[in-house]
Structures are given as structure tokens and as C-alpha cells.
Homo-oligomer: A and B are copies of this chain.
Amino acid sequence: MGVTMNPKTDIEIAQHTKLVPIQKLIDDLDLLEDDVELYGKYKAKLSLNTLERLQDKKDGKIILVTAINPTPAGEGKSTVTVGLGQAFNLLNKKAIIAMREPSLGPTMGMKGGATGGGYSQVLPMEDINLHFTGDIHAITTANNALAAFIDNHIHQGNDLRIDPRRILWKRVLDLNDRALRNVTIGLGGVTNGMPREDHFDITVASEIMAILCLAKDIPDLRFRIARIVVGYSFEKMPISVADLGYEGALTLLLKDAIKPNLVQTMEHTPAIIHGGPFANIAHGCNSLIATKIAAKLGDYVVTEAGFGADLGAEKFLHIKARVGQFKPAAVVIVATIRALKMHGGVAKDELTNENVTALGKGIENLQKHIETIKAFGLPYVVAINKFVIDTENEVLTLLTWCNENDHPVSLTEVWEKGGKGGLQLAEMVINIIDNSQNNFTPLYNTKDSIKEKILEIARTVYGAKSVDYTTKAEKQIKEFEKFGWSTFPICMAKTQYSLSDSSQKLGRPRDFTVTIREFKPSIGAGFIVALTGEIMTMPGLPKKPAALNMNVTDKGQATGLY
């Protein structure tokens, strides 16, 4: 993610960086021996007891990094998050970064890793982008163990009368594998189970991932797992994990995955990397436990949420902040000139050419996201993530627009310069935290009806005119009300490329209607997913996957990761 003209790749820059032993960070953070478990020399897991031990300590300020609607390459939100954390440290502020764990699927496929870029990366990037400390594998295992338990229950007599046609629970793999999107299982006769249709998602789309990221502690993890609705009986009544009796075993499988992981940035700023739910089918933020521990260990916590402010930030503020009962101190909205030009109508292959007119038009996308953050009552700074291809005229146009409209703005060069490239941004963030009003208020109350909640998000966050529901969705609302599920928050599943539910409508669409196609109850996680359009929960591989370039030296060093 970031400048592409630099001769060094991310992995080359990363492998030329001298890491300090993680024990040094542990000591600097005043963590005790019982608070940590080392995973090699540069990774550690933090014990949940740390939170309990530090419960009376004042929390640090939580800064959310979000973005405009991205291009397929992303806007460098992770890079800005890491760079901003590093900048705080250069200002001698005790800052900690909290980020999501990357999924192997996109790493091996097209997108590359998700550990920042250039001189703003979290390290060791090879480990973090591959298996890391095994959290995602544990989630895959717990998810698929539950699937096996469900099919075994049906095979062994089906006391709960689970309807094989109404199973919601899917299997998962942490890979991009389109061939597993739609499968039939249980074939081959009586000894091989009950034949039925099934589907595989990528692991980060699993409800277990969302649960792990919202759980407060082990009892809460078990409570949420127990209430997962895996499907319906022949009598159309919900069947939960508690009905099956496996909440203990599934929680046991996650007993280490729930512990946050401590690593460092290239400038040795502490970073807690933990959990990584998809920002479409789930809420798209690192774990609540990671954010809470970071707030106990640092004076400033820099964290991010997936995709643009219409998806990640909305869910961070409505779901994660609500469960965690915390108030963010400020929001950073990342924009790139390249993406704003795209929102202004420039075709993908012409984004490298200067186009001030298109930029001026595309700015309305940024403007909408600023309005959204204002609607939540939060102070903000716009961070322009500078690319080498950006022209002076373009940069000036964007800065001028921000200044004329009183939007705090900073041109950041964290990819190229690390923390130094984000010093002004850090200073502005500190300034707005200290001197601006913070009237953080969620846009809806959970007691509002499902339709009221969705209308509020669609109008205020997306700028839509109205919301339509398919017949199926209408029917589901009635069912969910009957089951007592209507007081959960809403988790919108929508394209990340547009403020609307149509990926083609760039810029700032107006007068549009959002169509809710279907709902998915994520009762374990504690939200109702509202699906608009087709949401991809199992990506495919491109013709030439990134994996073709990956290798390892005879001494065991990774090559070709980026």
C-alpha cells in the first residue's frame, strides 16, 4: 500500500530494519512477567489478567483512523495509523497502536499484507502476514469444529430436529478459494453423514471472529459463543450452541487466541495486533480487549476500522464503542488525491495524470465523511496520505478546500518518512483533543426498531433518501421481533466503494434508495447484519496470485511478501 515508485519494496525495507527485543517494549510498558508470554524474540501475547491488574488506571485517549471510500488498492489507512503512532512517540508521547491481524487469503491472493507500508510498518511483517501467533487458525478450527458438531448431531439422530435446509452456520478457511463458496457435503451413503448444501467463507468473515473481537473476557466469550444461532429447527425455531452443548469446548479452543499480541513498528512504537473481522459482514475493528489494554498502557491509542467511514467508523462507533462503553477522543479521516480524483470521475488507468477539476469534484466524497463524523459529535483531522504521483497543484487544491471550509488538515508523508512524516498530524490531533468539543453521541438508540436504526444510518451516514426492503427482509424483521432480537445494533453489509449500496455510484451520490436484501442474525456477536446487494464473504484468487512470487531462503527468511 503506498508509493509505488520507491525502489525498495515493503519487505526489503522491513528486513533492513533492526528490531529491538520485544522484552524491551515489555519493560518500557511496565508490564510484569506474568502479563506476557513470549512468542519468539519479537512477538508476545498479553494476558487478560493485565486488564484486571490495571483496572484502576486512567484510560488513554482513543484516536480512530478512518477514510473516504477507497479504491481497490486501499487508501493507506494502516500506514497512516502506524505512522501517526510513530509520530506521537517522536513527540515523546506514550502512544500505542491497535490494529487488526491480516488474513492469509488476501496476502496470498491480490491485496498483499496489511501491516502498513514503507517506513510505517508493524514488524516482523513476515510473521504478522503469515501465521502470526495462530489466532486466526484457532478461529478457523473453532468455527469448523462447530460445523462438524452440527452435522454430527444431525447424523446421530438429530434430537434437536435441526433442519438441514435452514443451517446458518458455514464452514471457513483463511484462504481465497472460490471453489468452496457453494458445495454439497455429506455425500457417499449413510456412514458419511446427511447430504446438504453448505458454503465456506473466509475465516475473517466468521461470527467467531466478530465474537472474539467484542468479548470482554473469557466468561463473556463463552456467553457469546453459547448464544450463537446456528440454524433453525423443522419447527422454525432458532437453535443455539448452548442447545448443542459445545460452548465450553469452543471457548477452550480460543483460550489463547483471545490474548492480544504485542509487536513493534519500524520505530519501535508498541503495537497491539489482534483480531480482524471483515468490515462488510462483521464490524471490521481489532479486538475490544486489545483496545482496552492499549488504553491502559498508553496515553494515546491509535486504532483503525475497516474500509471508509460509512462502514468501519460507523460500526466502530455504534457497535464496538457501545459494547466497550468508551468514548473516542478524535477521528482522523484519511484521503488520497488519487481516490478523490476517482470519485471525481477519472478512470482507473488515468489516475496518474494531474486532474485538478476532477479532484475538486471528487472532494464531495470527503465532505460527506466529514459531515458524518461531525454528526457523531467528534473532533477530526483530515490526513492527506501523500503519494509521489500527486502534483503540487492537486495538493494545493485539496489543502485550500480544507482550509477554506475550516477542516483541520495535514499533509502526511508517513510511507516515505515514517513518524517524521506525521509530526504535524500528531500535533493537530493532540490540539483538537485538548481544545475541541467532544459531544460523542451514537446516531441511534438500540431500543429503536430495526427499520428506524437502518434509516438513521442510511440517511445520516450514507446520505440516502430512503430504505427499501425485499419481501424476505420484511418477513425476517417480523421473525426477529418474535425472537426478541430487534434490540441488537445493526451491522451494515454494503459495498465499500460507494456511499450508496451500488459500487458504481462514486463521489457523493444523492437521492438514492438503499435496498436491504436480507438479514443475517449474528446473535453470538450481538448484532443483526443487514445485507445490501451481493456481499463477498469468500474472495477468489486472481489469475496470477501473489503467492507465485513468494519463497523462503535456505536459511528460512521470507521473500516476495509485500
Q: Given A104-B141, A550-B248, A554-B219, are A151 and B130 neighbors across the interface (CB < 8 Å)?
A: no
Q: Given A173-B144, A556-B255, are A185 and B180 neighbors across the interface (CB < 8 Å)?
A: yes
Q: How far is the CA of A218 from the CA of B217 in the complex (A)?
A: 40
Interface centre among A141, A253, A552 (most CB of B within 10 A): A552
Can you list, as one digit per residue, whether each of A130-157 has a CB less than 8 Å from chain B (1) or not (0)? 1101100110110011011101100111
Q: Given A134-B131, A141-B137, are A175 and B148 neighbors across the interface (CB < 8 Å)?
A: yes
Residues of chain B within 8 A (CB-CB) of A191 are 178, 540
Give the shortest distance, in Å, between A346 (CB) and chain B (any CB): 28
Return the chain B residue nearest A220 by Cβ.
Answer: B554
Return the chain B residue nearest A551 by Cβ.
Answer: B248
Let me know if B252 and A550 touch, CB within 8 A. Answer: yes
Residues of chain B within 8 A (CB-CB) of A549 are 248
A543 within 8 A of B: yes
Let me know if A183 and B184 touch, CB within 8 A. Answer: yes
Segment from A35-43, A53-61, A272-280 that makes contact with B: A35-43
Let me know if A178 and B155 touch, CB within 8 A. Answer: yes
Let me know if B182 and A192 touch, CB within 8 A. Answer: yes
Q: How far is the CA of A547 from the CA of B245 in the complex (A)?
A: 9
Contact among B180, B187, B249 with A550 in the assembled complex (CB-CB below 8 Å): B249
Instruction: Give the copy number.
Output: 2
Let me know if B218 and A252 touch, CB within 8 A. Answer: no
Residues of chain B within 8 A (CB-CB) of A245 are 548
Residues of chain B within 8 A (CB-CB) of A485 are none
A246 within 8 A of B: yes
Contact among B130, B144, B173 with A253 in the assembled complex (CB-CB below 8 Å): B130
Give the shortest distance, in Å, between A160 (CB) and chain B (any CB): 13
Docked complex: A267-320 residues within 8 A CB-CB of B? none
Residues of chain B within 8 A (CB-CB) of A38 are 38-40
Report, as a range, how many residues of chain A touch the other chain.
35 or more
Residues of chain B within 8 A (CB-CB) of A183 are 183-185, 187, 198
Residues of chain B within 8 A (CB-CB) of A39 are 37-40
Return the chain B residue nearest A104 by Cβ.
Answer: B141
Residues of chain B within 8 A (CB-CB) of A555 are 49, 218
Let me know if A547 and B149 touch, CB within 8 A. Answer: yes
Give the shortest distance, in Å, between A133 (CB) and chain B (any CB): 8
Q: How far is the CA of A80 from the CA of B175 in the complex (A)?
A: 40
Let me know if B178 and A552 touch, CB within 8 A. Answer: no
Return the chain B residue nearest A543 by Cβ.
Answer: B156
Residues of chain B within 8 A (CB-CB) of A396 are none
Residues of chain B within 8 A (CB-CB) of A556 are 48, 218, 255
Contact among B177, B218, B545 with A552 in the assembled complex (CB-CB below 8 Å): B218
Residues of chain B within 8 A (CB-CB) of A178 are 151-152, 155, 186, 191-193
Q: How far is the CA of A39 from the CA of B42 in the complex (A)?
A: 11
Give the shortest distance, in Å, between A533 (CB) and chain B (any CB): 15
Can you list, as one digit per residue, whether each of A45-77 has a CB less than 8 Å from chain B (1) or not (0)? 100110000000000000000000000000000
Q: How far is the CA of A127 from the CA of B155 in the complex (A)?
A: 30
Docked complex: A206-228 residues within 8 A CB-CB of B? 217-219, 222
A558 within 8 A of B: yes
Residues of chain B within 8 A (CB-CB) of A559 are 248, 252
Let me know if A152 and B252 touch, CB within 8 A. Answer: no
A20 within 8 A of B: no
Let me know if A148 and B541 touch, CB within 8 A. Answer: yes
A256 within 8 A of B: yes
Q: How far is the CA of A37 from the CA of B41 in the complex (A)?
A: 6
A194 within 8 A of B: yes
A-B residue pairs in contact (CB < 8 Å), sample of 20: A37-B41, A38-B40, A40-B45, A130-B253, A130-B255, A131-B137, A131-B253, A134-B137, A137-B138, A152-B178, A152-B541, A155-B179, A179-B194, A191-B540, A218-B554, A245-B548, A246-B547, A249-B547, A249-B548, A249-B551
The 8 lowest CB-CB distance pairs between A and B, nearest first, are: A248-B551, A137-B137, A182-B188, A179-B193, A249-B547, A151-B179, A148-B177, A134-B134
**Apart from the given pairs A148-B176, A181-B188, A182-B186, 8 other A-B contacts in the complex at a CB distance below 8 Å:** A48-B556, A108-B145, A131-B256, A137-B138, A147-B177, A178-B192, A252-B561, A255-B552
Which residues of A are in contact with B by a Cβ distance under 8 Å? 37-41, 45, 48-49, 104, 108, 127, 130-131, 133-134, 137-138, 140-141, 144-145, 147-149, 151-152, 155-157, 173-188, 191-194, 198, 217-219, 222, 245-246, 248-249, 251-253, 255-256, 540-541, 543, 545, 547-556, 558-561
